[in-house]
Every structure is written in C-alpha cells, then in structure tokens.
Structure 1
Amino acid sequence: MTAHRPSRRTILGGGAAAFALAGSAEAAPSPFGPLGKPSWSADGLQAAAAAKGLAFGTAVPITRFRQDRRWRSLAERECGVLVCENAMKLSGVVPREGVFETAAADETLRFARSNGQRMRGHCLVWHEGLPPWAETILASGNASRAEALMRQWIGAMARRYRGAIEAWDVVNEIVVPADHRPGGLRATPWLAALGPGYVDLAFQMLKDEDPGAAAVYNENDCEQKADWIDERRSAILRLLEGMLKRGVPISRFGMQAHLTSTLPFDETKLRLFLREIAGMGLAIEITELDIDDRAFPPDVAARDRGVADLTRRFLDTALDEAAVLNVLTWDLYDPDTWLSVYPARKRPDGLPQRALPFDAEYRRKPMWDAMHAAFRSAPDYSATRQRLRAKA
C-alpha cells in the first residue's frame, strides 16, 4: 500500500517530515475483519498450551505464507498467536521515504483474525531493519529529526493497528554490556541519535497511541549458561528496574529463546532470572524459540533427540513461571529457518539445521512432541495468566 508521495523538496528539506505524510495518510483504521472462530485442532500445540492459560504461535514468513497452502493450514491447526517475521519492521513498511507499505502486515492480520488468533507486533525500534533513509536521519546529529522519525513511525503503526495487536515489541535487542555504554545499552543508531532516553521515549509513544496494547522489551541471549550471558541478565534486570522506577509504561519482557547446542543450559539460573522479572509485576513472553543444532551429530535421529531434549528442559523450566504467557517459535518449518543461512549459525558439515517443530514434509518432529508434552505437564496458572494478559 503506497501513500501520497511527497515532493522532492519535501524529501530533501524535511527528512522525517516526509515520513509524517506517509504515516498520517495510513493512520485511519482499516477493516481487518471480525474475530473468527478458533481454527486450531484439539490435538495441536495451541490446544495443549491453552489448557494452561498459555498461547502457542509462530512468526509468519510472508513469501511462504502467500505461496504455500500447506504452511497456512499448519498455522491454522497449531497456532493461537502470530507475529510478522519482517512485514512490520521499519525497513519493510517504509523502504523509501514517502512510501508506506502495509499489504503484507494487513494480510497476515486478516488471516489471524479470521482464525480467531491473537497477533503480536514486531518490532518498532531495532538497530537492524533500518532503511538507508532512516539511517541518514539518525546519523545527521539532529536529535529533533531523530525524535520526529521515531514518533511518526511508532504513531503510524500504533494508530493503524490500534485494538488489533495484543502486544508490541517496542524495543528489540538493546543490551550489550561489552559495548561499554551506560546501563549496558547496545551502541545503536538510536542511542547515538537520542541518548539512553530513547528507550523510555519509545514506550511512552506507543502508550500514547495505543494504550490497550501490551508494551514489550524483547531481548536475545539471556537463556543459557555463560559468563557473558550472566552479564547480560544482570544488565537486563537493572534496566527493567530503572524503567519501572521511572514510571515507563512497560508491561512485558520478551525472551527470544534462540537456543544453541553450543552452550550448556542451567535450569536454576533461568528460573531465578524469570522469577526476578515476574517479581517486578511484568509478564513474560517466549517470542522467537528455535534450536541451533550445530553441536549435535549429523545423524537425523540423534540430532532430533538433542533438539527435543533441549526444548523440553527449557520449556519445563520456563513454564514453571506463572508470568509466562506466550510461546512462539521463529517459524514452524525447518526449510525456512534463518539458522541454515546465517553465516555464523551454519553447521560445519553443511547440513540444513533441524531447528523447528516440523520437517521439510510438514511432519511433526520430536521437537513438536517435546513442546506438546511440556505444555501438557506445565502447571495450570490460567487465572494468573488471564490477569496478566489483561494488564496493558
């Protein structure tokens, strides 16, 4: 979907102002359809999760979604919540100034609503997913332009999808203690342009535009055992404590859970981490679960056993925490996993990763069995989860 294109003078002279035209042109509500009857099957992952007050879902790769009816049928049967893989990121929606493209996001949302599924928004402020024109604004040294860009971007998305998104990942991957910035914040274009206050600002902007959406801080590399992960967990907890003390309108913490076979898993450390977050009154979501199987043997059966075992140990620990609401995998279908194409994650033997609950023939794998068993054996915290889900 393309909004009115600004003049060349507006683009050159205004920068972020050009984007404001695009945002306001698309701000009116769109007809995404009524919430349909739940589509998931009684023997699927969502049904098992829902019995304990949880929701299961996945990221939607728009090309596969559009081209493969088998993928859509799988999502209908197994999922109760969806999130766009890339279609709601700044680079996907506003690839060029004056262009506001929401067709893929709108299509995903209509599908979710027709199947009675919840929808998450991902992600508003991230150091990646920045189109060149936005990078130029953030690097300009003009804080006012940078703030206007953030305000116009968050405002346009929040207004367009107001009332249709359960939770927005407001900021994504913002902590790297090794960058030696105050508070452990990652060195990003947003931090350079606006200073550490950009985090608080983003949450307030979302709350101003869509007070009913849960506001999430989504983070990676905080689940397993390593000294550098301990540092990250400590920085995350300090950051959350500071935000709450300052009255920042955050309601959830998102734990990505890109787990890797190359690191050990310490149930005790993860349990304590989640307990501290829950003790702050925040809900928790597992937002991007998959398993990097590089350290597992090439034999498929052995590899699948390793993936299933790590999945089960992780979920058994995480789902013991009543504040955990949602579990999403980063796609459902092995051939689409990012782990097989990202250079640092490729297996040394060149084999494709078996990171997700369904194989190349759309068959349930041992990882699916592990997830289903973890949901069925999880404590039933439905009342607590219902209360937290209603807290935006």
Structure 2
Amino acid sequence: MAKKTLFTRRQTLFFWLSTFASLSLLTSKNAFNPRQIDPLSRKFVASGNMSIGKRALIKGLSYGAAVNKNSLSSNPQLAASIDKECVIIVPEWELKWDFLRPTSTSFDFRPADWLAEFARTHGLLFRGHTLVWHEALPTWFVKTINSHNARQLLLEHITTVVKHYAGNIHSWDVVNEAINLQDGRSDGLRKTPWLQFIGRDYIEIAFCIAAEADPKAMLVYNDYGLEYDTPEHEAKRKAVLNLLKNLKSKGTPIHALGIQSHLSGDETRFNSDKFQKFLSEIASLDLKILITEIDVKDKNLPVDIKVRDRIVAATYEDYLSVVLNEPAVIAVLTWGLSDRYTWLSEYQPRRDGARVRPLPLDANFKRKLAWNAIARAFDNAPQR
C-alpha cells in the first residue's frame, strides 16, 4: 500500500472520529490523533475459517505466540487456542535466567520442559528465549559475577541450556537487546554486566558457544525499537545493522535477526520504504528475519472497542503487509495470543481502566479484527 495514499485517507477521518469518540478522550492530555487510523471502509474480511498458523504454512511461513506454563496449564481454552492457531511457541519467561537458575550452581528446567513437551505433544515448533540478556537476572547474579568468572559463567549457562534442548529447538534468541544508544558508546552497545566483565566480544562468544552446543539450531540476535521513522529508531537500525555486519565479517555463527515489533496503535511514523530497505539490508547479509514479539499497544486509543479494534487491526495489517513482502522473513510470533494473557495489562495499562486489546483473540478467546488483519496479511504474502 502506498504510504502517501494511506495517510491521505487517514486524514479524511478527522471529523468522523471527532463525533464518534468521546469528547473527553479527544481533548485529554494524551488525546488520540485520528489522522493515524485507516479508512473505516476497510472491512478486514478474512476468507474462510482456516487458522492463522495454517495460512502462514501455505505461504512457507510460521505463525506462533509466546506462552507461559502457568496460564497454559491452567486454562484449557488457551491450550486449545494455541493448538488451533499456532505452529510455533516460545516461552514467555521460563527460559530466562531468573527462572532457570535458582542458584549459581543449579538449573531448574521443569517449567520450560513442560512447555517443550506441550509443543512436542501438539506438533508445534519450540523457540528458545533468551540465553543472554541484561534483565531477568537472579538476585545471586549481581553478587556473584566478576571479571574472573563472567566468561566461565556464560559458557556454562549457554552450553547447559542449549544442550538440554538440542535437536528439539527451532531457534534461540542468543543475545537479547544488546544495543542501547542512550548509554553513549560509539558502537551503540548497552552497558551490561557481560560488556563490563567480558568486553564487546561477549556477543560473538555467546553465538559461538551456542553453535557448538547445538550445531543445528537457528541462532538469532533479538532487539526492539527498529520500526518507526524517528531519529531514535533510525539510529538504532543503523547500530543493529553495523553489529550484524561486524559479527558476519568475523564468521560468527549467527543466522537471523529477531525484530520484536511492540507496535503502538497511536503511532503514525511508519515509513514503509525505509523499513523495507532495512529488511533488505539484513537479508543481504544472508540472514533470515523473524518477527518475534509483535503486539499493538492501545493504551492511548479511544475507549470505544469498535474504534480501538479497527486501529489495532490496521496497525497489524499495514506493518505485516510490508514485512511479509521481504522473502527473508520466515516467522511471525505475537507476544501472547489472547488479551486475557498479555504483559501490556501490567506494563502498558490504560488510564481509563479498560482492558487492553493488543492481540488476535479477545479475553474470551474469540477472534477479533486483529486476527482478521493478521490472517489477511498472510493470505496476501508472497509464496516462500
């Protein structure tokens, strides 16, 4: 879809939304700007009843979602929905350090193993998230790590975890969110304990360790804040691209970039041409691309569900229609499947107290316009 046409049509809705949405929302400090919505004439009609996962598979793609053991094991409706809609799942928390490492000398794989077994039983692929991150670290970590033991600690953790799932994993987010331009380094690297105690080569080291532990696993660098046409996102795209070029030049066994894509329904600054160029540059490095954590934040959108759901759906479809045109993109995972279980309820709540609605299924596991939008994007994607 041409960007100029899209925004011209969005602007025509200004007066319509002024009458449809409540005046309090339109005049509040965080007022929704109606120029960012797609035309209301878009119907978001998805043909047939086929699941998103099957639509993706037809095009040579994979669709899935993040899940956690507690929700999945306690709610049969969620389990049934995951089984119906997905072909791949990723643990939301269970493979992060603070879940896996109760002490510096022990591992607890039981929650993650439960999820891996669910995937195996239901014929789903299983992703790993994440081996190296600056957050979700156990309390003992800060007290223990130093320049003398950091490299060994990294080696032990990655080797143990990756070998534990070797042969049963689709891909690993080996390093997560290593770029943070606000930290002021010329290379853009985030100041983390790994950087402090090992040095900038910790990223290369992590990928090499993972490759040795499981030579068949797809190894991914995963990051956020890459989607929009803003100076911040543009600078981060450049930093991530430079990081990947550097790793490839050294022969590092890295196979893909993961783009989180936590999108905002009230954000208009998406430049399809610039983002497509970025995706092409990643592909030119002989890397695959996964959309690893997509959802659409609706905290600043009107409370009216009909309006809100349409904006969220448009955000999904407009973004994925660009992303899926890049042949290097092989998978899309939403960060959750149902609005009943989303991290945004806690971390990005609405000020009016209304339930957030960022995902394909509502809190009662019914398909929403967002589901239709994702289904349409897969239906219209070129064949892999």
Task: Specify the TM-score bucket, using the shorter chain as the normaliser.
Answer: 0.7 to 0.9
The structure 2 residue matched to 1:366, chosen from 364, 369, 379, is 369
Report how many residues are paired. 336
Shift of 1:137: 2.7
Whole-Å separation in 2 of the counterparts to 1:64 and 1:327: 21
**Aligned residues: CA RMSD:** 1.3
Deviates more, 1:311-320 or 1:175-184: 175-184
- Who is 1:307 aligned against? 312
Q: Structure 1 residue 134 and structure 2 residue 141: aligned?
A: yes
Q: Structure 1 residue 48 and structure 2 residue 51: aligned?
A: no
- Who is 1:390 aligned against? none
- Who is 1:148 aligned against? 152
Sort the Cα spacing of 1:272 and 1:360 in 2 relative to 1 into closer, same or farther, 3 A: same
The structure 2 residue matched to 1:318, chosen from 309, 319, 323, is 323
Counterpart residue identity of residue 126, structure 2: M
Report SS of the residue matched to 1:124: strand
Correspondences of 1:126-205 after superposition (within 5 Å): 126-138=133-145, 140=146, 142=147, 144-205=148-209
Whole-Å separation in 2 of the counterparts to 1:70 and 1:247: 45
Counterpart residue identity of residue 281, structure 1: D
Q: Structure 1 residue 71 and structure 2 residue 78: aligned?
A: yes
Report SS of the residue matched to 2:113: helix
Shift of 1:42: 7.2
Correspondences of 1:1-392 after superposition (within 5 Å): 43-138=50-145, 140=146, 142=147, 144-264=148-268, 265-342=270-347, 345-381=348-384
Whole-Å separation in 1 of the counterparts to 2:155 and 2:174: 12
Deviations 1:103-134, CA, capped at 9 Å, x for gaps: 11111111111121111100000000110112
Whole-Å separation in 2 of the counterparts to 1:222 and 1:135: 30
Whole-Å separation in 1 of the counterparts to 2:162 and 2:345: 33
Whole-Å separation in 1 of the counterparts to 2:49 and 2:202: 44
Report SS of the residue matched to 2:302: coil
Deviations 1:278-313, CA, capped at 9 Å, x for gaps: 011100000001001123111011000000000000
Q: TM-score under structure 2 normalisation?
A: 0.85
Q: Is the 8 A contact 1:225 1:263 kept in 2?
A: no
Whole-Å separation in 2 of the counterparts to 1:99 and 1:248: 29
Whole-Å separation in 2 of the counterparts to 1:335 and 1:97: 34
Q: Is the 8 A contact 1:168 1:213 kept in 2?
A: yes
Counterpart residue identity of residue 353, structure 1: V
Shift of 1:225: 2.3
Shift of 1:262: 3.8
Q: Is the 8 A contact 2:69 2:114 kept in 1?
A: no
Counterpart residue identity of residue 48, structure 1: R
Counterpart residue identity of residue 83, structure 1: V
Q: Is the 8 A contact 2:159 2:210 kept in 1?
A: yes
Report SS of the residue matched to 1:341: helix
Q: Is the 8 A contact 1:45 1:79 kept in 2?
A: yes
Shift of 1:267: 1.2
Whole-Å separation in 1 of the counterparts to 2:49 and 2:69: 26
Whole-Å separation in 1 of the counterparts to 2:325 and 2:144: 44
Q: Is the 8 A contact 1:217 1:254 kept in 2?
A: yes
Q: Is the 8 A contact 1:226 1:263 kept in 2?
A: no
Q: Is the 8 A contact 1:46 1:56 kept in 2?
A: yes
Whole-Å separation in 2 of the counterparts to 1:154 and 1:347: 38
Whole-Å separation in 2 of the counterparts to 1:220 and 1:262: 18
* Identity level (%): 38
Whole-Å separation in 1 of the counterparts to 2:144 and 2:185: 22
Deviations 1:308-355, CA, capped at 9 Å, x for gaps: 00000000000000000110000101021111211xx22232322101
Q: Is the 8 A contact 2:288 2:330 kept in 1?
A: yes
Q: Is the 8 A contact 1:83 1:119 kept in 2?
A: yes
Whole-Å separation in 2 of the counterparts to 1:119 and 1:278: 23
